[in-house]
Chain A
């Protein structure tokens, strides 16, 4: 069995705007998710992390299009499917969605139909992907609701989504996503709409079910706190590219890319005792005007004219084992900061 369940190679998803310009929402990213592990894709709004998750499941809608790259899914029973190469109406795509790969969204209501009971919706997910009868599906569904921590699941089974609170709805969505025992769960900002005590409950639930089912998780989030709590590996995105990738400890403790460093420094909790927070100057440029060279150079304190602001964007290089940085000055920056940990 291949060690990674999903491998994305050089994925590019572009959108065409009203003026006919191609906007490079995802611009050549590569990563792989090891079996049973959690990879967090982290970045600020507009960095392309959600488009990446939609691209994996081929849910990108017009005017967006995957223009290049491979999305290799490697199921347990062997074989390899390149999801990016499948036609929109390919049978295998429907088999993958909700079967081998499930997705949960930020807003649970978008994934739930308001006119069907929770039970109907869970059973539909089961009947679509498993060769079982309605009675068995009902039992599995109720069992799943119990697993996600719903009290009196038999009663909840026949309720409508609007009768539940936000936290309960997200539990139902998780039940629906995991009831077919997927090999990969894509969680797109699963707790952003929730309060902090509920967030803790939901994150703990995802973790425990992940162990039980043995699936991998691709966590899309902007919250470095959630990343620190849940992820094994982290990929930091900026303007459609992965700027840095590595283990969660390495990224949060010794960030090598100036953008990651800037992000972490702007967190209040890493500024204890300081009156002002350090922040990244300027704003994220729009996709219509991505700077040449390294896209981060206009906001970067380490940018060198003639080196960072010309040519193509820097490619991710391996600095140490299992650690990639897309910065031409990564070594120099690392030497300058040796021994100085952030936070």
Chain B
């Protein structure tokens, strides 16, 4: 008898009573008090923005290569009054015995870099033609330096074995990796709401059957099934078809948790007096479902969906990393990590592991965002 269900004399709802705010106003007010979630939302906003406008932000196209500078290490930007923002040129040495390329910074040769510089022409989102890139070699200043010996390269995060710019490829890869989660979530959403809603609203035998199916689907081990499904995708499919197929594979297993949530909520809300009241008013089934039941847990759906995006992203990464998902020439973070399959590569060129960083940042951000949304989701709960 230490504690009882003490009804807090002041509940959140009562606090809002004076203003009579709508549900969404209450949710956003509570959400913005959650610092970590707001920060995560900002980070995700930046990530999605940058990858959406990859053509502008990346110094190079994803397919651009310079075999002469394969495995070039990251070049740190420096600043001096004399040269402005620049990187040091790299001198290449080829070991006569092992034929291995090594690079050494050449302190006398600078390569000026800058923001909003002219570069190769591209179309942003395939529409807007532009010559300007967010960051890159400042060729106008470079011309004035009149120098020809060293390679004029700028690899912010290094290069891979074909001399492709990892930084550019990360930004372009983000397009695929970040969108694969969202597209797969949309499919999950349709499947989860449809099947879960059917199960909860119709009930009876239909419900029992769907619940058994969900249990069976849930008992499959995720990764092996993904692998099997990934392996049967024909290698000669076009990149776009493969991309869509992968999203289907990912969402085929993930709709179950959403379907469970939807079913449970509908079962609970269906017995609420306001749902009974709507029925007694003569409301149709679709009106009860869409006007009265679904709005009661949209916030919960959003939370569940947000929290399952990371699993999708990690799934795509895992499949692509193992070579069963997306394949070059498509660039995704998982595809980029394929270069890390050999320990030797990782030991010699550790910058190849850099795609892990955006993956971790994205997954963490989605988790923080989901947590924040969950806490804010139900303004009528006591905690």
Minimum C-beta distance from A128 to chain B (A): 10
Write out the residue numbers on chain A whose beta carbons fall within 8 Å of the beta carbon of B1. Answer: 97-98, 102-104, 111, 125, 176-177
**Which 4 pairs across A and B sit closest by C-beta, in order of nearness?**
A110-B5, A18-B15, A105-B4, A25-B9
Query: A44-52, A154-162, A313-321: which lies at the B interface?
Result: A44-52
B3 within 8 A of A: yes
In angstroms, how far is the closest chain A Cβ from the Cβ of B267? 21
A15-B9, A23-B9, A177-B1 given. 13 additional CB < 8 A pairs?
A15-B8, A25-B9, A54-B6, A59-B4, A59-B6, A61-B8, A64-B9, A97-B2, A98-B1, A103-B4, A110-B4, A125-B1, A286-B18
Q: A164 CA to B143 CA in the complex, in Å? A: 90
**B-side binding surface: helix, strand, loop or mixed?**
loop
Of the residues B5, B9, B10, B12, contact of A105 by C-beta under 8 Å: B5
A-B contact pairs, 6 of them (CB 8 A): A25-B9, A59-B3, A102-B1, A107-B5, A125-B1, A288-B18
Residues of chain A having any CB pair with chain B under 8 Å: 15, 17-19, 23, 25, 46, 48, 50-51, 54, 59-61, 63-64, 97-98, 102-105, 107, 110-111, 125, 176-177, 188, 286-289
The residues of A that contact B18 with a CB separation of less than 8 Å are 286, 288-289
**Chain B residues in contact with chain A, CB under 8 A?**
1-10, 12, 14-15, 17-18
Q: In the bound complex, how far is the Cα of B17 from the Cα of A288, in angstroms?
A: 10
By a CB distance below 8 angstroms, the chain B residues around A103 are: 1, 4
Number of A-B residue pairs with CB-CB distance less than 8 Å in the complex they form: 57
Report Cα–Cα, A19/B6, bound state, in Å. 21
Residue of B nearest to A110 (CB): B5
Chain A's closest residue to B15 (CB) is: A18
Interface SS of A by simple majority: mixed
How distant is the Cα of A23 from the Cα of B10 in the complex, in angstroms? 8
CB closest chain-B residue, reference A112: B1
A176's nearest neighbour on chain B, judged by CB, is B1
Residues from chain A with a CB closer than 8 A to the CB of B14 are 17, 286
Given contacts A286-B14, A288-B18, contact A61 B9 (CB under 8 A): no
* CB proximity of A62 to chain B, nearest CB, Å: 10
Using CB atoms, name the residue of chain B closest to A25. Answer: B9
Q: Are B10 and A287 within 8 A (Cβ)?
A: yes
Give bound CA distance, A61 to B14, whole Å: 18
Which partner residue on chain A sits nearest B33 by CB separation? A18
A202 to B5: give the CA distance in the assembly, Å: 21
The CA-CA distance from A54 to B8 in the complex, in Å, is 11
- A289 and B8 CA atoms in complex are apart in Å by 18
A50 neighbours in B (Cβ, 8 Å): 6-7, 9
CB distance from A204 to the nearest CB of B (A): 22
Most chain A CB neighbours (cut-off 10 Å) among B6, B8, B9: B9
Task: State the CA gap A59–B2 with chains docked (Å).
Answer: 8
Q: In the assembly, what is the distance between CA of A23 and CA of B8, in Å?
A: 12
Closest chain B residue, CB of each to CB of A111: B1
A286 lies within 8 A of B9 (CB): no
A16 to B: closest C-beta gap in Å: 8
Question: Cβ of A46 and Cβ of B9 under 8 Å apart?
Answer: yes
**B376 CB → nearest A CB, Å:** 13
Instruction: Name the A residues within 8 Å of B8 (CB-CB).
Output: 15, 61, 64
Nearest-neighbour CB distance to chain A for B270, whole angstroms, equals 24
Say yes or no: A19-B15 contact (C-beta < 8 A), given A59-B4, A107-B5, A176-B1: yes
**How far in angstroms is the closest Cβ of chain A from B133?**
47
